Structure 1
Amino acid sequence: MHTESTTPRPISHLVTFAHKSSPDTFSRISPVMAISPRVSVVVPALNEAENLPHVFATLPRWVHEVVLVDGNSVDDTVAVARRLRPGLRVVTQRGRGKGDALAAGFAACTGDIIVMIDADGSTDGREIVRFVAALVAGADYVKGSRFATGGGSDDITFGRRVGNRALSSLVNLLYRTRYTDLCYGYNAFWARHLDVLGPDCTGFEVETLLNIRAAKAGLVVHEVPSHERGRIHGVSNLRTLRDGWRVLRTIFRERFSRAVGLRSEMTRSRLPVTDQGAA
């Protein structure tokens, strides 16, 4: 699935993992056309001008819109993005952190499906069709996994791998899920579920928060394989110990929270000022 086409072909060979099945049971997706729904791609970015040409080159031409959330970059991130993607929607982030950026981006989306990718080149936009195919085939929420068959990573360290596995096991125990890759940010979902998913955190724990809330809301969750690339330019803001602790706190906070389905007002309150600039 690494060859882009202007018109996506029917998908009949992708395999997903349904959390309601046994851990070793995989099911094939029925042939569907991934172009049917309108797809919004949210890209949070902070000083990623050097990486955006690669990232945008991998995005399918048939996506409905690309929403760039700029975290007040001091480089040419916004100018480069507009030059690369005519009709780009730009959101200026009011707060700080990845969670806050995604909340702002989600609120600005107008598509039927929302896909979240990173601006550092680690997530491959050509894989978006896998996520869309799984959603069209019946999933509510689709989780990318580096550890599913066909996935992989060029970037994960031993410490992050061990921590991810431990945190995934904890979530699976507490929430009766079967996630194989809790702390990976390549996810997609139907926009209609934003009220129960809507993130209200600021940092990298946002991926865990979305995964947990999808499970708590009883959404149909599927995993698809994804291959993580290394960051192309710059230095990651991820800090293993700090962000691992924030993930752990989120896991237990959500375990004792019953506020599922009551987040629409909070999500709307985060609506940022948006503009749709031309290249």
Structure 2
Amino acid sequence: MWSRPRAPKKTTLPIARYRERNRSTIPSVLSVPGPGGFRPQSRVRKTRRRVSPSPKSRGVSRVPRHRACLPYGTAGSAQPRRRRPGKNRFVIAPPEPARVSVVIPTLNEAENVPHVLARLPAWLDEVILVDAHSTDGTVEVARRVRPGLRVLQQSGHGKGNALAEGCAAATGDIIVTLDADGSTDPAEIPRFVAALRTGADFVKGSRFAPGGASSDITPTRRLGNRALRALVNLTYGTSYTDLCYGYNAFWARCLPYLRLDCEGFEVETLMNVRIAKAGLVVHEVPSYESCRLHGASKLHPVRDGGRVLRTIARERVARARWLLAGAEDAGR
């Protein structure tokens, strides 16, 4: 029975080894000798794939997608922009170097101010003392301790007004607010500034975050803080661990969002609420609150707690009116 002749068996030559060593120069069509002569064999040229270095090899780390872009600023903003490594997104680059201003409201704190000013970092660019016409020589004592101090005589009343006037007069890129009674530690300022430089718009100290504590808060104040904090978190979708604490730091560009227009201790809650309404990036850092060094506290838990509650309600109503006005404009 007639059968079809088999094809001659191909011989194995060292050309495979040659091809491996010279991938870039091997031709696409090879002539492979065999028993039947030279027969063209189609070969696909193999080229080495150029692999770009990974972010880790470049010394950067990948950023989660939900944090890839800060919500502050626009494409036409005057702030410089930089490319975030590993992502096709941009962030607003803070000015370098940044000047730091500290605002301290005072009212008859002559015994406490020397301890506070002595613990301020030496690299601060500006320290502003907003005095509410103290009668115990607070300003004179402060100037002896820190000769380059800026002193503002408060034109209004209350802590909220003092902070508003001091922040408006500050010339730094970063503004830090703390108390003059010695309860807040000025040595923690570098921690606040570092959090701002890593992408935050507003940094708030927290006594109840992991690593924070307080030796001055009473059970009544703790309970009130917890209730008001839960109300704000539920209303604005935030996750604050502390609401009524005066140790904060923020970029000066955030002042238009804050609009400090209150007078009392509710200013701390007002700042937290308006920053949340603006959608800015907020970081909390643990902070330790110690007892007042000298004198009596000017905080009244019941009266000031009521003012905080009214502030939360007023901001909620203002937000609802703004949303309603926007819906009406969209329907026209």
TM-score grouping bracket, smaller chain normalisation: 0.7 to 0.9
- What are the ranges of 5 or more consecutive residues in structure 2 without an aligned counterpart? 1-65, 68-95, 323-332
Instruction: Give 1:153's aligned residue.
Output: 214
Counterparts in 2 of 1:76-115, with a 5 A limit? 76-115=137-176
Q: 2-side partners of 1:155 and 1:216: how far apart?
A: 30
Instruction: Give 1:219's aligned residue.
Output: 280
Secondary structure of 1:256's match? Answer: helix
Aligned mate of 1:246, from 307, 311, 323 = 307
**Structure 1 length normalisation: TM-score?**
0.80
Instruction: Give 1:173's aligned residue.
Output: 234
Identity %: 69
**1:90 alignment partner AA:** V
**1:217 alignment partner AA:** A
Asked if residue 73 in structure 1 is aligned to residue 130 in structure 2, the reply is: no
Asked if residue 190 in structure 1 is aligned to residue 251 in structure 2, the reply is: yes
Instruction: Give 2:100's aligned residue.
Output: 39
Secondary structure of 2:129's match? Answer: strand
**RMSD between aligned alpha carbons?**
1.5
Q: 2-side partners of 1:219 and 1:91: how far apart?
A: 29
Secondary structure of 2:250's match? Answer: strand
Deviations 1:176-203 (A, max 9, x none): 0000000011011000110111210000
**Structure 2 length normalisation: TM-score?**
0.67
Query: What's the CA shift for 1:36?
Result: 3.7
Aligned mate of 1:119, from 180, 201, 206 = 180
Aligned mate of 1:135, from 193, 196, 200 = 196
Instruction: Give 1:200's aligned residue.
Output: 261
Query: What's the CA shift for 1:95?
Result: 1.1
Q: 1-side partners of 2:148 and 2:280: how far apart?
A: 32
Query: What's the CA shift for 1:86?
Result: 1.8
Q: 1-side partners of 2:133 and 2:231: how far apart?
A: 35
Asked if residue 49 in structure 1 is aligned to residue 120 in structure 2, the reply is: no
Instruction: Give 1:263's aligned residue.
Output: none
Query: What's the CA shift for 1:227?
Result: 0.0
Instruction: Give 1:162's aligned residue.
Output: 223
Query: What's the CA shift for 1:104?
Result: 0.7
Deviations 1:141-163 (A, max 9, x none): 00100001110001000000000
**1:225 alignment partner AA:** P
Q: 1-side partners of 2:239 and 2:207: how far apart?
A: 14
Q: 2-side partners of 1:82 and 1:148: how far apart?
A: 35
- What are the ranges of 5 or more consecutive residues in structure 1 without an aligned counterpart? 1-19, 22-34, 261-279
**1:122 alignment partner AA:** S
Secondary structure of 2:318's match? Answer: coil
Instruction: Give 1:266's aligned residue.
Output: none
Q: 2-side partners of 1:166 and 1:154: how far apart?
A: 20
Whose Rg is larger? Answer: 2
Counterparts in 2 of 1:253-264, with a 5 A limit? 253-258=314-319
Q: 2-side partners of 1:37 and 1:223: how far apart?
A: 20
Q: 2-side partners of 1:59 and 1:198: how far apart?
A: 27
Secondary structure of 1:245's match? Answer: helix
